[in-house]
Amino acid sequence: MYYIYVLRSMQNGQLYVGYTENLDQRLQAHNIGAVISTKALQPWERIFYESYIHKADALRRERYLKTTAGKRALKLMLRETLDAITS
């Protein structure tokens, strides 16, 4: 299985979108500082993920979610989750 995931920084609420084949291992890597792009804002919590059978489908979805339109769609999809976190 291939996964795309959304993390939220518990430090400032920033979102991060990524791709992996192992969700738990990847979250752990983010939280121990092994990922340069997220090291400064740890700890992270996973708030969303999708699974795919084909790697190409997962990578295409990750690329989309990193666009402006994708970020907007994510915020609409997760609005209750994001509201609950900030409340």
80 domain residue, yes or no: no
Tell me the whole-structure pTM to 2 decimals: 0.92
Cα separations in angstroms, 22 against 25, 49, 79, 82, 85: 6, 11, 26, 24, 25
84 domain residue, yes or no: no
For residue 16, the enclosing domain spans 2-74
Chain mean position to CA 53: 18
Share of the chain above pLDDT 90, in %: 89
Residue 38, SS3? helix
83 domain residue, yes or no: no
48 domain residue, yes or no: yes
Q: What is the number of domains present in the chain?
A: 1
85 pLDDT band, cuts 50/70/90, is: low
29 domain residue, yes or no: yes
CATH number at residue 35: 3.40.1440.10
82 domain residue, yes or no: no
**Cβ contacts of 4 within 8 Å, gap of 6 or more:** 17, 18, 19, 49, 50, 52, 58, 61, 62, 65
Q: What residues are paired with 78 via a beta bridge?
A: none
